[in-house]
A = this chain, B = another copy of it.
């Protein structure tokens, strides 16, 4: 009969060994004779024993939990990343403690404090910004932290992002090659490094051809604000192409263009997004975009985190992963453009 909360002591009693013997059998790098292992395993099996992770964490100082702070799951890129992070860590024997945080830095700080209370072995901050005070605290608390999809000037912080500047530039080149000259940009939240980098690369790319941004409005990474930003941009002297700082907004931009302004995409306006979320491939949108390679970004994030946990490296790393432009049908395709469509 399986009973409530079996302890190692009970297993020890039944197996006729000491409690520490039981511990050794369940501790990866420990020594125990085959017959001890045998007896203990059997007793544990019969009793339904499993080690208490919390007790283990207390004494060993390792909880095998990773705190993940994420601001909102509405943009499909994040659930996707969360799922991948969770799976990747699960594979390494870690588990993910999720914390939602409104994107105000006050809130973030409070949330990170709560995370620290759980003695997590590391913190991943996905698309949220840290106050410098906070990063200081994490360093003081000796707990590794890596930024995901957001970089910070603070050189002491590790971060994994895609190559946003390059990505922005690729979009500029693509649009220019398509013959566009009246080109607009719908920005994300200005506090985000991703927003800034994409815009920088984009504007630079245009400048290389002597072209200046034709229009610019701000959507703050929200669909409704992206809609408003679109209406504003097209109210007078509309551009013939728009680069939108992420897909989540770009989908709203396309809908607004088509259903509220009666414009055709791409015949009247070309639209390009960023991220390559699943919906981009849906026939209704067929959105040309820059892919953020979520798999590789997650893999790197997990790598960096595990290295930090094992103290293999203490120097902060900024990792940028290059992502391709995925050419679909929402933007005019330049003649002779190498077909990269999916």
Q: Which of A40-90 contact B (CB under 8 A)?
A: 48, 50-55, 57-58, 63, 65, 72-74, 76, 78-80, 82-83, 86-87, 90
| Given A65-B97, A95-B99, A251-B282, A2:B54 Cβ within 8 A | no
The segment from A110-118, A169-177, A206-214, A304-312 that touches chain B is A110-118
> Taking CB as reference atom, which chain B residue is nearest A84?
B100
Q: Is A285 an interface residue (CB 8 A)?
A: yes
| Given A117-B52, A251-B282, A140:B96 Cβ within 8 A | no
Q: Which residues of B contact A119 (CB under 8 A)?
A: 52-54
Distance of A234 from chain B, by nearest CB (Å): 16
> Taking CB as reference atom, which chain B residue is nearest A75?
B79
In the assembled complex, the Cα of A49 lies from the Cα of B119 at a distance in Å of: 13
In the assembled complex, the Cα of A118 lies from the Cα of B72 at a distance in Å of: 26
Q: Which residues of B contact A83 (CB under 8 A)?
A: 72-74, 100
Instruction: Give the size range of A's interface with the partner.
Output: 35 or more
Q: Is A283 an interface residue (CB 8 A)?
A: yes
Question: Can you list 9 A-B pairs, Cβ within 8 angstroms, ordered by A?
Answer: A5-B142, A51-B117, A52-B117, A52-B119, A55-B58, A73-B83, A74-B79, A90-B114, A95-B118
| Given A58-B58, A63-B54, A83-B100, A74:B278 Cβ within 8 A | yes
Since A4-B140, A50-B113 are in contact, a sample of 13 more A-B pairs with Cβ atoms closer than 8 Å, ordered by chain A residue number, is A48-B140, A50-B116, A51-B117, A54-B57, A54-B118, A58-B58, A65-B118, A74-B80, A83-B100, A86-B99, A96-B97, A97-B97, A256-B283
Q: Is A296 an interface residue (CB 8 A)?
A: no
Do A95 and B97 touch (CB < 8 A)? yes
Q: Is A215 an interface residue (CB 8 A)?
A: no
| Given A54-B118, A285-B284, A98:B86 Cβ within 8 A | yes
In the assembled complex, the Cα of A294 lies from the Cα of B58 at a distance in Å of: 37
Q: Is A141 an interface residue (CB 8 A)?
A: yes
In the assembled complex, the Cα of A40 lies from the Cα of B285 at a distance in Å of: 59
Do B57 and A86 touch (CB < 8 A)? no
Distance of A228 from chain B, by nearest CB (Å): 15
Within the complex, which residue of B76, B113, B117 is in contact with A76, where a contact is CB–CB below 8 Å? Answer: B76
Do A258 and B283 touch (CB < 8 A)? yes
Distance of A309 from chain B, by nearest CB (Å): 15
Distance of A294 from chain B, by nearest CB (Å): 12
Q: Which residues of B contact A337 (CB under 8 A)?
A: none
